[in-house]
Amino acid sequence: VRALSGAALLAAWEEGSARGPAGRAVALLAAATPRAERDALERLPLGARDGRLLELREATFGPTLRALASCPRCGERLEFALPADGIRAPHAADAETVHPLEHGGLRVRFRVPTGADLAAAGARGDPDEARRVLLRRCVVEAEREGEPVDPAALHPDEEAALAAAMAAADPQAEVLIALCCEGCGHAWETALDVAEFLWTEVGTEAQRLLYEVHALASAYGWREGDVLALSPARRRAYLEMVGA
Ligand SMILES: [Zn+2]
């Protein structure tokens, strides 16, 4: 995975802005790996997808992720830095392999979710309906005491066991980070969505690049492509000259 150039970042930002979370992730991956087919990117298990996005993040913005959290007990704002290596985890090799789960009298065979599964689920506005869609897509077979059961109508403890088994089969898909409040000492875990994290950073960078294009195009009459083709150092030097 190579770093996104300014022009590629803006193109991915523009494409992704019109799409949901799964579509944004594909827009970023497609920009980083132009020869990969969209279909193949959509069918990546979430862990493989997020692993690649993490590589793209590291190549483009560096190896340290900075984020903010609020302590759930006292509300103190906490700024933390995470090394990309610290949240790297193994991921499922593919989304076709079928994994078994036995829980009480329930036997399930499932595969790990992909971006395409998330997109299909996210297309339903309602979170409960989205959950049902995801379960019906990823559960290949479910039976209780020999009778087939609807994967979207499992008991809560069965569904929790299935969610845990899915996470265990594709660890990179669910990054949990341990945080500790400096104010009150409370310790807790929070999930980090690598795709959303990177998308937010890309949005901030896109705004910065658009501003630089605006300032230099206004001052010199250069075209967008000309400004983006300048090295960051040269662009900064011109920006200083025009007082931007
Ligand atoms: Zn606290």
Q: Given pLDDT bands bounded at 50, 70 and 90, which one contains residue 45?
A: very high
Ligand 1 centroid from CA 186, angstroms:
5
Over the stretch 50-76, which tens digit does the pLDDT of each residue have?
A: 999 999 999 999 999 999 999 999 999
Quickly state the pLDDT bin for 124 (edges 50, 70, 90). Answer: confident
User: Given pLDDT bands bounded at 50, 70 and 90, which one contains residue 125?
Assistant: confident
Q: How far is the CA of 204 from the centre of ligand 1 (A)?
A: 28
- Using the mean position of ligand 1's atoms as its centre, give its distance from the Cα of residue 17 in Å: 35
Which pLDDT score is estimated for 2? 87
pTM beyond 0.75: yes
Ligand 1 (ion): which residues have CB within 5 A?
A: 71, 73-74, 76, 181, 183-184, 186
C-alpha span between 226 and 216 (Å, rounded) = 10
C-alpha 184 – ligand 1 centre gap (Å) = 4
The predicted-structure confidence for 104-122, as pLDDT tens digits, reads as follows: 999 999 999 999 999 999 8
Between CA 85 and CA 145 the distance in angstroms is 44
CA of 179 to the centre of ligand 1 (A): 10
Distance 78 CA to ligand 1 centre (A): 9
Instruction: Judge contact between 154 and 164, C-beta under 8 A.
Output: no
pLDDT in tens, 217-229: 999 999 999 999 9
Q: Is the pLDDT of residue 1 over 90?
A: no
Nearest-CA neighbor of 197 among 73, 74, 82?
82
How far is the C-alpha of 90 from the C-alpha of 75, rounded, in Å?
A: 33
Closest CA to 112 of 130, 132, 96: 96
CA of 174 to the centre of ligand 1 (A): 24
Q: Would you say 12 and 27 are in contact if contact means Cβ atoms under 8 Å apart?
A: yes
Q: What is the average pLDDT score of the chain?
A: 95
Residue for token pair 């590629």: 8
Distance separating alpha carbons of residues 198 and 58, to the nearest angstrom:
10
* pLDDT given for residue 206 in this prediction: 98
Mean pLDDT of 212-216: 97
**Distance between CA atoms of residues 53 and 26, nearest Å:** 10
Q: Give the E-state strand segments of the chain in sequence order.
A: 64-70, 77-83, 99-103, 106-110, 139-144, 147-148, 175-180, 187-192
pLDDT at 96: 95
